[in-house]
C-alpha cells in the first residue's frame, strides 16, 4: 500500500513539473512574440520606401482670374506741356496658360518657366490731372519664371490695348477721347495655396492717341509708373 502511495506521489509530481514547464514555455513565448513583432515592424519600415513628401506649392493651373489696384504717377517723362497725373487704376485680368514649363537645361535653368496670355479690363480714376477717368482693354503675353519648390513666381509681361477718356486738350490733357495704350510690368506671384495667390508688380503705362488729334489738338501722352497689388484664383 505504501509503495502504491509513493508511486502516486511521484506521478503527480511528474505531472506538476510538466505543467510548470508548459506554463513557463507559454510565458516565454508571450514575452518573445511582441518583441519579434516589434523587430519585424522596424525592419519593414526600413525596407519600405519612404512616402513622397508633399510639395509645399502646387503646380500652375490653366486659367487664373484676379482683381487688383494700385497707384500710378505721371508724367515720368515730365516737362511742359505734359501734365502731372496721379492715377488709381482698377484692373480685372483673366490669364490663360499657353505652354508647359520648359528651358530646364538652358542657361543653367535660370530661364525655366512658361508663358501665359492675359486679357485685362482697366478702369482708372484720375485724382490729379486734367481728365477725370479713362477705361479700356489690354492684351498681351506674360512669362513666368518657375523653379522647383518655389512658392514665389517672378514674371515679366507686356500688353497693348485701347482706352477711352474724358479728354481735356484745352487744359493740356489728352488730345482726344480715343487713345492707344502700351503697358509693361515686372513683379512676382505669391502662391497662398493651390488655388489662391497674390501678385505684386511695378507697372509702366503709356497712353496717347498716336498723333491722331493733330493738328487740331496736340498729342499730350500720359506716361505713368507705379506699384499694383492684386489677388486671384487659379482653376
pLDDT of residue 104: 78
> With bands split at pLDDT 50, 70 and 90, how would you rate the model's confidence at 34?
very low
197 and 85 in one domain? Answer: yes
> With bands split at pLDDT 50, 70 and 90, how would you rate the model's confidence at 9?
very low
Q: Rounded mean pLDDT of the chain?
A: 82
18 and 129 in one domain? Answer: no
191 and 139 in one domain? Answer: yes
185, 228 Cβ separation under 8 angstroms = yes
87, 73 Cβ separation under 8 angstroms = yes
92 and 179 in one domain? Answer: yes
| Number of domains composing the chain | 2
Q: Does 189 reside within a domain?
A: yes
200 and 129 in one domain? Answer: yes
Check whether 45 has a pLDDT greater than 70. no
pLDDT of residue 11: 45
153 and 114 in one domain? Answer: yes
- Maximum average pLDDT range among 44-48, 116-120, 192-196: 116-120
30 vs 193, which has greater pLDDT? 193
Q: Does 55 reside within a domain?
A: no
175, 207 Cβ separation under 8 angstroms = no
83 and 10 in one domain? Answer: no
Q: What is the mean pLDDT of residues 49-77?
A: 74
First to last CA, the chain: 99
Q: Does 58 reside within a domain?
A: no
> With bands split at pLDDT 50, 70 and 90, how would you rate the model's confidence at 16?
low
**Domain range for residue 30?**
1-50
Please give the full DSSP string across 108-153, using - where no structure is assigned.
GGTT-EEEEEEEEEEEEEEEESS--EEEEEEEEEEEEE--TT-SEE
pLDDT of residue 18: 58
Q: Does 151 reside within a domain?
A: yes
Check whether 216 has a pLDDT greater than 80. yes
Amino acid at each position: 500500500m505504501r509503495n502504491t502511495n509513493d508511486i502516486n506521489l511521484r506521478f503527480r509530481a511528474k505531472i506538476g513539473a510538466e505543467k510548470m514547464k508548459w506554463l513557463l514555455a507559454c510565458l516565454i513565448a508571450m514575452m518573445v512574440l511582441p518583441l519579434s513583432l516589434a523587430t519585424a515592424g522596424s525592419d519593414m519600415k526600413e525596407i519600405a520606401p519612404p512616402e513622397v513628401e508633399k510639395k509645399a506649392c502646387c503646380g500652375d493651373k490653366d486659367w487664373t482670374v484676379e482683381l487688383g489696384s494700385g497707384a500710378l504717377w505721371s508724367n515720368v517723362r515730365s516737362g511742359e506741356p505734359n501734365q502731372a497725373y496721379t492715377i488709381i487704376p482698377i484692373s480685372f485680368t483673366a490669364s490663360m496658360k499657353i505652354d508647359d514649363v520648359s528651358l530646364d537645361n538652358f542657361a543653367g535653368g535660370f530661364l525655366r518657366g512658361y508663358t501665359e496670355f492675359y486679357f485685362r479690363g482697366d478702369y482708372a480714376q484720375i485724382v490729379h490731372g486734367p481728365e477725370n477717368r479713362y477705361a479700356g482693354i489690354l492684351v498681351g503675353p506674360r512669362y513666368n519664371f518657375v523653379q522647383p519648390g518655389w512658392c514665389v513666381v517672378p514674371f515679366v509681361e507686356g500688353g497693348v490695348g485701347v482706352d477711352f477718356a474724358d479728354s481735356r486738350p484745352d487744359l493740356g490733357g489728352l488730345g482726344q477721347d480715343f487713345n492707344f495704350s502700351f503697358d509693361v510690368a515686372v513683379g512676382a506671384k505669391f502662391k497662398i495655396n493651390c488655388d489662391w495667390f497674390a501678385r505684386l508688380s511695378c507697372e509702366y503705362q503709356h497712353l496717347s492717341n498716336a498723333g491722331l488729334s493733330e493738328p487740331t489738338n496736340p498729342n499730350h501722352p500720359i506716361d505713368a509708373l507705379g506699384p499694383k497689388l492684386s489677388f486671384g484664383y487659379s482653376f
